[in-house]
Structure 1
Amino acid sequence: MEAKTALAIALGLALGLPYLTVALMQGGRFGFLAVGVLFIGAFLLVVISDLRESDVSGETPKSD
């Protein structure tokens, strides 16, 4: 993952997720489920982007 992408994701999560979490937690059982899905989604986003980066960086460039 590029540094700029990681910083943008971290900044967005740090600024937006607390407010979204409080809003959803006030919504009852659906809110708890939604918060769980958000955290799992954020985790999977980081893992998948890291796996993609390792696949791309593992390829050797062809020389002509």
Structure 2
Amino acid sequence: PPNRLYGPTDFFAGPFLICGDGGEDLISLTDSQITKYEKKYHSPLIFLELYPKPITLKCTPELYAKC
């Protein structure tokens, strides 16, 4: 199922990994990047598929489990 929005209408499905770009290699995130992405992705999203694009609602983990 959809997990997170990627752009206005695309989404990630299932688990995903966030890492740094070290050119040809993947690298660890800095502490400030970890803080940024933890804030951004902490709350689960509920996807409502409405035309012309999906709408997302942030929710608590408990509410997400009920959906």
Structure with the largest fraction of helix: 1
Structure with the largest fraction of strand: 2
* Greater radius of gyration (CA): 1
Structure 2-normalised TM-score? 0.35
Higher relative contact order (CA 8 A, sep 6+): 1
Structure 1-normalised TM-score? 0.36
